[in-house]
Structure 1
C-alpha cells in the first residue's frame, strides 16, 4: 500500500477526536512512506450544519468528487464519515466496484436522538447500509465491535487509537489560577448535549470544576453554572498543561465510542472517573488508572486516591504508530476481501472445468 485517500466531512475548524485521529494517522502514514491525500470540506463551498455551526457541510456533486478521487489516484480509499462527502465517495466507489473501507467514529444514532425524536432503529438501519457496502468497517474497541456486530454490521476491523506521550505528559506548575480551591475536577471536550456534561456539573464535589472546550452548549452552561471555570478551547502544550493541572479527569459521556481525551488525561498522569460504558471500559478496564461507577460522584472522589504513575503507564500502552499499522493492515485485508468477492462465481454459474 503506497497511497491512501481519506475522505472526511469532519475537519477543521472542528476540534474533536475524529479530526485529531485522522490528522495523526495521516502524519504517521506519511512517516511510514505512504502518500496520503485528504478530501475534506476545505476543498468546497460549505454551509454550517443547523444547530452545530462548527460542522461544515460541503456543497458539491458526485461528478466533482469522482474527478477528485480520480485525480488523487490512490491505492486505497477510506471513507471516514457518513456526511455529504462520505455519501458521495461511497456512491462513486460502488458505481465503479472500487474497494473501500469506512470507520465508525461516532454513535450518531444516540447523538441524533438526544436532539430529535428519531428512533434509534431507523438510524442504525441507515448506518448499517452505509458501512456494510464496503469491504471493511474500522472500529476502535471490542465493545463497539460487539455492539455493531449484534446490530448486523459486517466486516468489522479493529483500529485502536494512540496518544502523543511526548506532548501529553506530567508538567511542573499549573496554568490554572493559583487561588482555585482544590481538588480540581476537569472535563475536556466538545461542550454539547450528547457529551452529558451536566451529569458532571451537577455533582456535589469539593474543590473546583473546570471545563475545557467549546461547543453549542458553552454559553448556556456558563450562565447556568457560574461557579464552574469554563476555559474555552485549548490546543497543543497549553491543552496538555491544563490536563496536567487537574486532580481527576471526569468523563460523563454515555455515547463516545472511544474517548481520545481519556488517553490524553492518563498520559498527563491524571486519573479518570467515568461511567462503566463503552470507551471507559475499554481504555480503563482493569488498569487501576481510574474508577468506573454508575455513581459518578463516587467514582470522582475515589479517583483522588489513584496513583498518578498508574495513569501514565496505562496510556503508554497506546501509540499512534501501532494504530496506523492497524489501519494499513485493515486496508490490505479489505483488498483481499474485494479480490475474493470478485473471483467468486456468480450464484448458479457453472463450476470451472
Structure 2
C-alpha cells in the first residue's frame, strides 16, 4: 500500500506519540509498504529527511515549547496527493496541519483514518482552563467522526470515548522493543552514581514533568515507601514545565532529565519498581517499557495497566482515582523486595508478547478493510515479510518518555 501519514510530532521529539509513530512507520516499511510522512520541520537540530518526507512550517505550542503544531497545508497536500494518490491517508494529530490534511483527503475522496492519542478535553482541567473542556471535546468529536475510523489503544478507552460521542473507534494496542528495554541493561555504575547500595531499592518515574502526570502522588508514594524501606531512593527521568520546581523542592530525589535510547533503557533496568500515578493517559507506553525492563510496576487500573496487568501477579493496580489505595499499594511494593523482583520477572514475560511487528500487521489489516482494491504483489510481500519478522520489534531512533 501507499500510505500517507500526517503528524505534528515525530522523531527527534521526546514523547510517546512520536515514539509510537516512529515504531509503526518502521514496521510498515518492513512489511513492504510505501510510507510518506508529512510533518513540521524539526526545530533546533539537523534531522535527516526520511524517504518521501514532506516538511511544512511549524510553531512552538504556547506554554509548551518542547512541542509544536504545523500550519495548515491543504493546498500543497491536495496538489501532492492528486499527483501521487495514496491508498490511505492517516492523520496522527488533530492540530491545524492535521485538520487541513483531513479536508484535503476528503476533497480528493481518499480513504482517511485518524489516531486519538491525547485527551485534550481532560488536560484543560490540569492547566486551569476547565471551561475549554467542552469545546475541545466537540472539536475532537467533529474531527474524528469525519474519518473512516479512529485508532485508540484500549477497550476501556473505546467505551469512554463512545460515551462522549466519538464513533467508528478501533482498538490498536502498543508494542515495545524488548531487546532494547531488557533487564540485562542493569548498570551497577549508574546505581553507584545515584548513591544506591546494591541491596537498596529504587523507585522510578519516567514521563513528562507536567501537571497532567499527577507527580505529587508519586512524591507522596515515595515518602510512604520510605516508611517501610528507609533505604529506598527515587529517580525521576524526564523533562517538562515542572522540572525546575520539582528539583528545587525535592533535593532528596534524583532528577536525571530526558534520556533516550540505550541510556534510557539503562535507567529503567537499573531501578527496581516503577511507580506511575498518571490518570491522563490514553495508553502509557512507559509502563510497557518498565515491564520489559523487568521492573515491578504500579499504576491505576485503567489504560495500559488494565490491559496488561494481572494484579499481584505481574504488577499492582490501584482503584482509579483512589490516591490512598495507590499509596497503600506502593508501600506493599516496597515492603518485600523479593516479591517485587518476582513481579518484575512476570512483567517482563508479559511485555515480550507485545511486539511492534504484531501491532503493525493489525493496522495493515484494518486499512485493507477500507481500501479493497490493492496491489496484490504488495499484499503478498507484506504477508511474507510479516511471517519472517513476527518476532522482530521496531527500534525507534529516539526513545524517551510518554
Q: Does 1:192 align with 2:230?
A: no
Pick one of 57, 71, 75 that aligns with 1:45: 57
Q: Deviation of residue 11 (structure 1)?
A: 2.2
Tell me which moved more, 91-100 or 307-316: 91-100
Aligned to 1:327: 363
Pick one of 127, 142, 145 that aligns with 2:140: 127
Aligned to 1:76: 88
Q: Quick check: 2:73–2:101 contact (8 Å CA) kept in 1?
A: no
Q: Does 1:5 align with 2:4?
A: yes
Q: CA RMSD in A?
A: 1.8
Tell me which moved more, 286-295 or 101-110: 286-295
Q: Quick check: 1:79–1:100 contact (8 Å CA) kept in 2?
A: yes
Q: Quick check: 1:196–1:253 contact (8 Å CA) kept in 2?
A: yes
Gaps of 5+ in 2: 42-54, 227-231, 373-402
- 1:106-138 per-position Cα deviation (integer Å, ceiling 9, x unaligned): 111111221123253332222111101011111
Find the aligned partners of 1:117 and 1:13 in 2 and give their Cα distance: 31
Find the aligned partners of 2:57 and 2:29 in 1 and give their Cα distance: 28
Tell me which moved more, 190-199 or 246-255: 190-199
Find the aligned partners of 1:121 and 1:264 in 2 and give their Cα distance: 33
Q: TM-score, normalised by structure 2?
A: 0.79
Q: Deviation of residue 100 (structure 1)?
A: 0.5
Matches within 5 A, 1:83-102: 83-102=95-114
Distance 1:13 1:56, change over 3 A: farther
- 1:270-296 per-position Cα deviation (integer Å, ceiling 9, x unaligned): 011112233321222458211112322
Matches within 5 A, 1:165-314: 165-171=178-184, 172-174=186-188, 175-176=190-191, 177=193, 179-180=195-196, 182-203=200-221, 204=223, 205-206=225-226, 207-286=232-311, 288-293=313-318, 294=322, 295-303=325-333, 304=337, 305-306=339-340, 307=342, 308-314=344-350
Aligned to 2:68: 56
Find the aligned partners of 1:280 and 1:56 in 2 and give their Cα distance: 29
Distance 1:225 1:258, change over 3 A: same
**Matched position secondary structure for 1:153:** coil
Q: Quick check: 2:6–2:39 contact (8 Å CA) kept in 1?
A: yes
Aligned to 1:339: none
Higher relative contact order (CA closer than 8 Å, sequence separation 6+) = 2
Tell me which moved more, 301-310 or 180-189: 301-310
Find the aligned partners of 1:122 and 1:178 in 2 and give their Cα distance: 45
Q: Deviation of residue 88 (structure 1)?
A: 0.7
Gaps of 5+ in 1: 337-353
Pick one of 146, 153, 166 that aligns with 1:153: 166
Aligned to 1:117: 130
**Matched position secondary structure for 1:288:** coil
Find the aligned partners of 2:326 and 2:171 in 1 and give their Cα distance: 29
Q: Quick check: 1:160–1:326 contact (8 Å CA) kept in 2?
A: no
- 1:212-252 per-position Cα deviation (integer Å, ceiling 9, x unaligned): 01112111211121111110111111111110111110111
Q: Quick check: 1:211–1:231 contact (8 Å CA) kept in 2?
A: yes
Find the aligned partners of 1:231 and 1:94 in 2 and give their Cα distance: 45
Q: Deviation of residue 94 (structure 1)?
A: 2.3
Q: Does 1:66 align with 2:65?
A: no
Q: Quick check: 1:13–1:54 contact (8 Å CA) kept in 2?
A: no
Q: Deviation of residue 97 (structure 1)?
A: 2.6
Q: Deviation of residue 72 (structure 1)?
A: 5.3
Structure 1 runs (4+) deviating above 6 angstroms are: none
